[in-house]
Each structure stands twice: as structure tokens, then as C-alpha cells.
Amino acid sequence: MNQYVLSIYQPDGPVPEPEILDPIMRDLEVLNTDLREAGVWVFDAGMHPPETATVLRVQGDEVLVTDGPFTEGKEHLGGFIVIRVEDLDAALHWGRRLAKVLRLPVEVRPSQS
């Protein structure tokens, strides 16, 4: 078995209107239930917007604290799900479902554990 991180990339800006968001959240609930019932769910996290992030960087002996996300850009990591499955094809199967539900790009990446 391998562990994979399914990372969700979302555009910055306001949260979509309820008429758009609500059906998406309902589909996501179904997917979450399926992930648990299939025994592949390990962990997940939805994140607050990137402007709530803080970056720490070592400079000499100091650790510099800066406001905002690590990368500049119009899209940022919005959340992730960790799953445990047989191989990449199985991970891509769940990743594809997630991307379809959210209509957002999903990065599938193996984790070392």
C-alpha cells in the first residue's frame, strides 16, 4: 500500500455564491463518505485563505517572519486529502473524482511513508 497526498489548488478571492458552492459541498460529502467506506481515507484538511498564512525563513541566525503565503500567485493550496491505496492508478481514480466534484486542479503526489 502507498500513501498519496491529493492537493487541491484553488483561485484566490471570494468564496463562490451558495448556489454554486452548496451542490459542490454536497458532492464532496458523498466523496468523503465513499473514501471512508472504502477504507482509503487517512487524513484531510481544508485551509483558510492564503493571506492568513505566515512564512518563516532562516536568515543567518535569525528566523525571519513574513506575512502571506510562500508563493506569489493567483492560485494556492486550498486543502488536501491523504489516502492510502494500492498504486497510482487507484490514487488517480480518487483524484479524478475529487477534481470533478470541485472543478479544481488536483495534484496527486506519493508520500514517503
Interaction between residue 86 and other proteins (CB under 8 A)? yes
Q: Return the C-alpha cell found at 85.
A: 491505496
Interaction between residue 89 and other proteins (CB under 8 A)? yes
> Which C-beta is closer to other proteins: that of 12 or that of 86?
86
Interaction between residue 92 and other proteins (CB under 8 A)? yes
Q: Which long-range contacts (CB under 8 A, 24 or more apart) does 65-72 make?
A: none
* DSSP 3-state of 107: strand
CA 76 from chain center: how many Å?
10
Interaction between residue 2 and other proteins (CB under 8 A)? yes
Cα 97 from Cα 110, distance rounded (Å): 17
Interaction between residue 34 and other proteins (CB under 8 A)? no
Interaction between residue 110 and other proteins (CB under 8 A)? yes
Report the interface residues with other proteins, using CB under 8 A.
2, 86-89, 91-92, 109-110
